[in-house]
Amino acid sequence: MFLEETLKRIQSHKGVLGTIVVNAEGIPIRTTLDNSTTVQYAGLLHQLTIKARSTVRDIDPQNDLTFLRIRSKKHEIMVAPDKEYLLIVIQNPSE
């Protein structure tokens, strides 16, 4: 389906390690990683996204969080929040 293709396209980018779709409560729906890692990522990033969003809205109530990128030594975690879902992609940039 179109949905699948989109996810596949994202997954096939250079350096992408995994993709996770999470619902509003932090329960993973779809993932390409193993279960324990998925659960960990989902729970932690869900909380972080909520915090980030509330931060943005506190500063300017008209504003809203659209994209969150966390760059670490080893890889980059990208989170796109929505009202009901959360899409997480982990990529290893450059080499």
Give the footprint of another protein on this chain (CB under 8 A).
2-3, 6-7, 9-10, 13-16, 21, 23, 25-30, 39, 42-43, 66-67, 69, 71, 76, 78, 80, 82, 84-85, 87, 89, 91, 93-94
CB within 8 A of 76, min separation 6: which ones? 69, 70, 90, 91, 92, 93
User: For residues 48 and 80, which CB has a smaller minimum distance to another protein in the complex?
Assistant: 80
Determine which helix (DSSP H) or strand (DSSP E) holds 40, and give its type and residue range. Answer: helix 35-59
> What is the closest distance, in whole angstroms, from the C-beta atom of residue 92 to another protein in the complex?
9
